[in-house]
Amino acid sequence: MVEYAKGLQGVIAGESKIGFIDGEKGILAYLGYPIQTLAEHSTYEETAYLLLYGKLPSKKQLNEFDQKLKEARSLPKAVLDMMNLMPQTTHPMENLQTMVSALGSFSKNVSLLDRSIQLIAQFPVIIANRRRSRFKEKHISPDATLSHAANFLYMLTGKKPSPQTARMFDVCLILHAEHSFNASTFTGRVVASTLAPLHACISAAVGSLYGPLHGGANEKVLHAVQEIGDPKNARKWVMDKFSNKEKIMGMGHRVYKVKDPRAYILEDMLKKLSAEKKDTKIYDTLKEVENVVRNEMQKQGKSIWPNVDFFSGALYTLMNIPDELFTPVFAISRVSGWCAHIIEQLEDNRIYRPKCQYIGERQSTYVPISKR
């Protein structure tokens, strides 16, 4: 008998050279580069290149890669028309998944790497266009003078972001780009193992990310902040959650036993941006929730820390990104990691086929329908 691990907890399902995590020490690295180093010195474009090609680019290589991304910032008219036909109530993640599948029809006879570059470039365009069309606002064409991060904010709001805001958002994209065999990445690899096309794999990954236990958590965190209303209400809110045995989104992680290394960076940026905008209410509320949860859990001998979702939604709010786009923004970043993993999966592929421990009836007696 093979030992059963619910949710594949602790099971090694494959090998990868892309993302390294040490949950006990709070380490996250892409291809050996610590996330702190990349957040301080890199850009999303350079990080995406690193993930796809397995090495940092030269200046010429990065310029060529950046140019390819900018040239791919467009959507076929048929896809735009399809987007406009979607019901107004369609969640942006549902829209994104549908448009990714549709784009697969327009990306035939193109290399896997080029299709990956196209998708990385098209995700922000899909999300910004859908948001604007939903509210009957005119679509904004991409600006080739802007970076990947700055261009999304521009297409979304119609205003070019300040260099400081653009850089903060760029760092957010770097932090979310890769995280080993998380649910959505694993989903993409499983679908890729069947030799399905890239767009089918990415569409499946988007569907996995949509779930509130994965990418949707930061949206839930902000809803909690709105429910709390004021930092002084945080303790009662947390204690009520404990009494009702309800989960507090953004706190705790399946892998990290210490504070998520990405949370430190996001918290620092949120603190700075909150002070700059003279609006610290959300930050103060989150810190109070964190302190109450940690103190109460320590009384039970448990250590619970914020994860990447705890501060990211608040940071996006101060950047004027609506909460329904928090998970799509996650996808804008993570698509580079998904593509990298699918490329890696196909280099030494074997279809995923885990065992299932059957716990149902063994010898059911069939009764004819006339006698049931």
Residue owning tokens 């990415």: 202
Question: Where is 226: in which H helix or E strand?
Answer: helix 217-228
Determine contact, residues 327/210, Cβ cutoff 8 Å: yes
- Cβ proximity of 98 and 328 under 8 Å: no
Active site residue 253: yes
- Distance in angstroms (rounded) separating the CA atoms of residues 99 and 79: 7
Query: How many CA atoms lie less than 13 Å away from 320 in the CB half-sphere?
Result: 15
Token match 């003279």: residue? 278
Given the residues 148, 253, 260, 341, select the one marked as catalytic: 253
Nearest-angstrom CA–CA distance, 32 and 272: 29
Residue given tokens 């958002």 in the structure block: 169
Catalytic-role residue among 309, 323, 341, 348: 309
In degrees and rounded to multiples of 5, residue 267 shows phi and psi of: -60, -40
User: Distance between CA 162 and CA 158 in Å, rounded?
Assistant: 13
Burial letters 291-321, b for 16+ CB under 10 A, else e = ebbbeebeeeeeebbbbbbbbbbbbbbbbeb
65: CB partners within 8 A, 6+ apart = 45, 48, 49, 57, 117
Q: Is 176 a catalytic residue?
A: no
Please list the active-site residues.
253, 309
